[in-house]
Each structure stands twice: as C-alpha cells, then as structure tokens.
Structure 1
Amino acid sequence: MRANLEIIRATYEGSSEDNGRNLLAALAPDATWTEAEGFPYAGTYVGPDAIVAGVFHRLATEWLGYRADVHTYIGHDDRVAAFGVYSGTYKATGRSMTASFAHLYQVRDGKIASMVQYVDSHMVMKALSTD
C-alpha cells in the first residue's frame, strides 16, 4: 500500500515535467481516466495516449499556470485518494479559478489502472464563461 501511495505522490509533487514523466511511466496500457461530468474535459479516456491528448495537452495549452496542489493523500489496499485544489487562468477568457478536487486511483501491479475525478466543476466553468 505504501508503494501505491508513493506512485501517486510522484505524479503531483515535482516539476510539471517530472510529474508528467512519472504519470506516463505509472499508467497501465489500458488505464482509464474519468473526468467528472460538468468539467470541461468530462468523459473517460482509455490508455496513455488518449489521457495525454484528451486531458493534459488541453490543460497545458488552454490554461496559464494550471496547477493541481494536493494537501492530503489517503491510501487503502489498491486505492489511493488525493485531495487538493486546482488553480489557473483560462486563456480564452482571462478568468482565474480555484476549485477543490479529489482523485481516486486504483493501482494494480505497480501501475495506475484507473483514476476518477471529483471536482467543484462550477468554479472551473465560471472561468470558461464570458458572462
């Protein structure tokens, strides 16, 4: 269980480049990544290529200073939860946001098998709005 927690921790606590490298190395080939309904990238992505293109490439190109800062990790058996706060400025509107999140991971054989996002998507969507 401790090893699972360290796998997840390594995807949040370094530089963006280190976190990305660690995430790619940790994803199982058939990993599922579910972004919450109401979030701009809502849906389930399968496999590292789809996850990077559907989520992380968009975060890197559509936001300025986008961050996911974790304040608490909880591990139990093959599950690890990360709780924290997103922040960033949406380029198209210039609006900033902060939003609380929880990510629930399942780790199998040292690889991330799945991630499910829970987020205050209202705060994120307000940054995308031009109203």
Structure 2
Amino acid sequence: MKTLEGKLKRASENRAIIDGLYKAFAEGDIPTVLGMMDSTIVWNEAEGNAYADSNPYIGPDAVLNGVFGRIGAEHAYFNLKDIVLHEMFNDKVLATLRYDGKHNNGNSYDAQVAHFWTLKDGKVIAFQQYVDTKKLHDAFSK
C-alpha cells in the first residue's frame, strides 16, 4: 500500500477502528475495547497524570487494571465527549476530545484531551494521552 490511494484507504480503515473503539467504550463494552488492542500494546498516560505512575502499561491487562479499573473505582462517572478523529498516515490516528468526569471526592471536571493512537494490522499497538493534567490534579485533590 505504498500508493497515495492505498495510504488513504489505510488511514480511513484505521480511523474506523478507533471510532469503533470509542463507541464500545461509550457503551461500557470494555472487553471489546481490550480486544482491539495488540497483546503487546504500549500505553502511556500523560506525564503528570495520576495514572501515569506505572507508565508504560504493557498489554491489555495492564491497561485494564492500571487505568480503566482505577478510573472506574475512583469516579462517580467518567465520559468521553466531543470526540473528533483525525486520519493520519503511517498507521496513526489522532483524537481530540474532552473528559467529562466526577471524582468520588465530589469534584467534577471537563478537561481538554488528545489521544495519539498507533495501529498495526488492525490492532492498537501504542497509545499516548495528552491532557490538561492541572485540571485533573485539581479535581482529584480534596
């Protein structure tokens, strides 16, 4: 797929995969989300984020236990909103979005976010989060 047409097709396919991942996450279908990850995914939370304490998370189980499980346990609610997917070449997808959450301490937040995804053969092999970590820190503090 070295032609421009092939690259455009691959970019569109990758965008559709990430779109499906976000839709599954919105429905709470975490097994589907994890199934879209390669067994050796390298997942990095933004530096300064409380969940970056174990970066990098290697493999879907590490993401489940180190990120998703902690978010679920520490939040009254956590939603992704205003998701815009940007097709890129080289098996990358950029998502710009917002986190709408309420920490169990009662503090709510609405934070600006970017997710940088890398795919290979239809599976996510890498993830990098960028987020307003000050806003999260303020919300997570009592």
Quick check: TM above 0.5? Answer: yes
Residue of structure 2 in register with 1:40 after alignment: 50
What stretches of structure 1 of length at least 5 have no aligned partner?
A: none
In the TM superposition, what is the alpha-carbon distance from 1:89 to its structure 2 partner? Answer: 0.9
Which has the larger Rg? 2
Measure how far apart 1:100 and its partner are: 0.4
Structure 2 Cα separation of the partners of residues 11 and 52 of structure 1: 14
Pairing 1:17–2:28 present: yes
What is the CA deviation profile of residues 52-107 of structure 1, one whole-angstrom value per residue up to 9, with x for unaligned ones? 0000001111101101224311111200011000011110x211111000000000
Matched, 1:105 2:117: yes
- Residues 74 and 8 from structure 1, CA distance in 2 versus in 1: closer, same or farther, beyond 3 angstroms? same
2:61 corresponds to 1:49: yes
Q: 1:70 to 1:47 in 2, by over 3 A?
A: farther
Q: Which residue does the alignment assign to 1:87?
A: 100
Partner of 2:140: 128
Number of residue equivalences: 128
Give the number of the structure whose residues are more often helix, by fraction: 2
Q: Which runs of 5+ in 2 are unaligned?
A: 1-10
Question: Which runs of structure 1 show a deviation greater than 3 angstroms over 4 or more consecutive aligned residues?
Answer: none
User: How many angstroms apart in 2 are the aligned matches of 1:47 and 1:115?
Assistant: 11
CA RMSD in angstroms, aligned pairs only: 1.2
TM-score (ref. length: structure 2): 0.85
SS at match of 1:11: helix
Deviations 1:6-40 (A, max 9, x none): 1111121244323x233111100000110011111
Tell me the secondary structure at the aligned position of residue 38 of structure 1.
coil
